[in-house]
Amino acid sequence: GAGVSQSPSNKVTEKGKDVELRCDPISGHTALYWYRQRLGQGLEFLIYFQGNSAPDKSGLPSDRFSAERTGESVSTLTIQRTQQEDSAVYLCASSTAGTGGANTEAFFGQGTRLTVV
- Note the residues at the interface with other proteins (CB under 8 A): 4, 31, 33, 35, 41-45, 48, 50, 56, 59, 91, 93, 98, 101-103, 105-111
Our CB check for other proteins shows the closer of 21 and 93 to be 93
Phi, psi torsion values for 84, nearest 5 degrees: -60, -30
Q: CB-wise, 14 or 28, nearer to other proteins?
A: 28
In the bound complex, what is the minimum distance in angstroms from residue 49's beta carbon to other proteins? 10
Per-position b or e across 20-54, b if 16+ CB within 10 A of its CB: ebebbbbeebbbbbbbbeeeeeeeeebbbbeeeeb
Identity of the residue, 33 or 65, whose beta carbon is nearer to other proteins in the bound complex? 33
